[in-house]
Structure 1
């Protein structure tokens, strides 16, 4: 088996900085709660405390209401989220659960994250991004027809998937985090 030809840099990485989703979100902070109106047709209510454990979501286009827990860390990279909801359109009530991680993928490792940049009090930009990667691999053999040493260079595909502009009324400078990277 012949050694793999070295790949060009263009074949080793791909970075897409054109977001596929743009959102404008409005937030109002009232007596320890944050009420949010997202122009993705969603109304969100959640406590302002740092140990908030839930959020209430109303989606008028789908006629759905949900009460969702925050992501509960089970391990360093694995989270559980549970929720109960009602669909007025379907006249059904049920509950859902989901296991999530910021790492994962099938054959390809993936990092998904959100990064928030506070421009000034009351105006934040939040970026949803992901990176799919295959780590370099070293192989070799003796007496097998394979080269003694071979290297697969790996691959990186990164993209900026979502940009949100968040306007918050009623916040103080103590509520702002300049840079934060919450777990996905």
Structure 2
């Protein structure tokens, strides 16, 4: 659970992005559907590139270091997004934090899955299913919360993303401390 819960929370931030970004980017900032598709694709490419880079670094850097780095980057991205939205920094100011938030799914997902499954070789399928289940449950919980903001969906999306990404880091730290105190 030390890896499943934080990984699920980082995935939840991505689900919040998926639920809210069409409304934020197209309705609030007036971006065309074609340009939105390009932005969405670039963010998707960020997940792929981050996952590939994490896989390549896995032999040189510990999985825990990669995982924690992904959690920290996600938290920074989520907090930055919230700040940019609150101060109304504009369209281009939110694109970078959104890219960071979404790309971190590739880092946390890759490193977290490897770490979570390393001790469960005989139960790898069940453990992997649990990882996916946690991510989808958290995603199902947060996606509707994004819409609570109504016309201020940019604020509600940013709050949900910042909350889930900061919570992912906090949950990991707390679960790690609990493990070491026992």
Q: Structures share a fold, TM > 0.5? A: no
Structure having the larger proportion of residues in strand: 1
TM-score by length of 2: 0.22
For the pair shown, which has the larger CA radius of gyration, 1 or 2? 1
Structure having the larger proportion of residues in helix: 2
Q: Which has the higher contact order (CA 8 A, sep 6+)?
A: 2
